[in-house]
């Protein structure tokens, strides 16, 4: 059975950093494009970043470009999101999602349960 | 950026009745080289992560009940629940994955009347 388990969320001060992890099981992470999507409390969904198969090609929303980095460790079957220079408006539940297939331009087929990031002093 | 709009913002439907949600993109999400609309529908139950319902605008994900169907092409799309069940109370989102950034609609909340 496929599973995605996010971790690493928590309370961080503005300007701080955090690393989110998404441990995959039941499938080989390196065979799929993967994405991060976030949802601010009581708000809608916002795509954050995607990493294509191979890991050389990544895409970011303008709101996080230059501050966030998506990567994967295939040996650990784990996806990461490194978040720097965090701002209050980064406060959200962060979901990792497995795309349908290898392409970054593919539907987010399966989602984890999410991890909450709160940026506040 | 492609802007996604959804109508209505919310709707309440009697059990067994039809629910219709519309989604419009600010530009076409149809890719002629593969004849596909890069449009997806998700369902988010209360307190849960989103779940894939429909992709390529009309393809139902495996395991999704056949009361859910998607239609449309280009810029105008519709999600239809043919006979609303209690377990369908949720927020429904459309998303385009035609161009970066992949944008979502604001969501439509579906309730029981």
Rounded to a whole number of angstroms, the distance from the CA of B20 to the nearest CA of chain A is 19
Rounded to a whole number of angstroms, the distance from the CA of A76 to the nearest CA of chain B is 24
Chain B residues with CB-CB distance to A45 below 8 A: 42, 44, 50, 93, 95, 104, 107
Q: What's the average model confidence in pLDDT over B41-59?
A: 97
- Degrees (nearest 5) of the Cα angle A94, A98, A103? 120
Chain B residues with CB-CB distance to A100 below 8 A: 52, 55
- Evaluate if residue B67 carries a pLDDT over 80: yes
Minimal-distance CA residue of chain B relative to A109: B52
Dihedral (Cα; B33, B36, B39, B41), 10-degree rounding: -160
- Evaluate if residue A62 carries a pLDDT over 80: yes
Q: How confident is the model at residue B26 (pLDDT cuts 50, 70, 90)?
A: very high
Residue A55 has a pLDDT of: 65
Three-class DSSP category at B86: helix
Percent of chain B with pLDDT over 70: 100
Percent of chain A with pLDDT over 90: 91
Q: How confident is the model at residue A54 (pLDDT cuts 50, 70, 90)?
A: confident
pLDDT single digits (tens) A24-36: 999 999 999 999 9
Chain A residues with CB-CB distance to B40 below 8 A: 107-108
DSSP secondary structure string for all residues of chain A: --EEEEE--EEE-TT--EEEEEEEESS-GGGS-EEEEEE-TTS-EEEEEEE-TTSS-EEE-TTTTTTEEEEEETTTTEEEEEE-S--GGG-EEEEEEEESSS-SSS-EEEE---EEEEE--
pLDDT single digits (tens) B29-47: 999 999 999 999 999 999 9
CB atoms within 10 A of CB B10: 10
Q: What's the average model confidence in pLDDT over A14-28?
A: 97
**Strand A18-25 to A3-7 pairing:** antiparallel
Chain A residues with CB-CB distance to B38 below 8 A: 105
Nearest by CB to A105, from B38, B104, B105: name it.
B38
Residue B75 has a pLDDT of: 98
Distance, in Å, from the CA atom of A30 to the CA atom of A54, rounded to the nearest integer, reads: 7
Residue B79 has a pLDDT of: 98
Two tokens, residue B71: 């239609």
Rounded to a whole number of angstroms, the distance from the CA of B10 to the nearest CA of chain A is 14
Minimal-distance CA residue of chain B relative to A65: B101
Comparing A55 with B28, which gets the higher pLDDT?
Answer: B28
- Evaluate if residue A44 carries a pLDDT over 90: yes
Average confidence score pLDDT of chain A: 96
Minimal-distance CA residue of chain A relative to B92: A44
């Amino acid at each position: 059975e496929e599973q995605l388990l996010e971790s690493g969320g928590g309370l961080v001060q503005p300007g701080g950093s955090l690393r989110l992890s998404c441990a995959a099981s039941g499938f080989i992470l390196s065979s799929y494009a993967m994405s991060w999507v976030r949802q601010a409390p009581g708000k809608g969904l916002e795509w954050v970043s995607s990493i294509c198969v191979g890991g050389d090609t990544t895409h970011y929303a303008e709101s996080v470009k230059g501050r966030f980095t998506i990567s994967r460790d295939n040996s650990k079957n784990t996806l990461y999101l490194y978040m720097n220079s965090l701002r209050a408006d980064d406060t959200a539940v962060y979901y990792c999602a497995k795309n349908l297939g290898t392409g970054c331009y593919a539907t987010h087929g399966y989602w984890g349960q999410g991890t909450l990031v709160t940026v506040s002093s | 950026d492609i802007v996604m709009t959804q109508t209505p913002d919310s709707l309440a439907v009697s059990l067994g009745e039809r629910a219709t949600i519309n989604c419009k993109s600010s530009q076409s999400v149809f890719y002629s080289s593969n004849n596909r609309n890069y449009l997806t529908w998700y369902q988010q139950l209360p307190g849960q992560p989103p779940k894939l319902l429909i992709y390529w605008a009309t393809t139902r994900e495996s395991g999704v009940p056949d009361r859910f169907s998607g239609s449309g092409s280009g810029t105008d799309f519709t999600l239809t629940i043919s006979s609303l069940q209690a377990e369908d109370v949720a927020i429904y989102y459309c998303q385009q994955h035609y161009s970066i950034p992949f944008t979502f609609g604001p969501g439509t909340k579906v309730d029981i009347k």
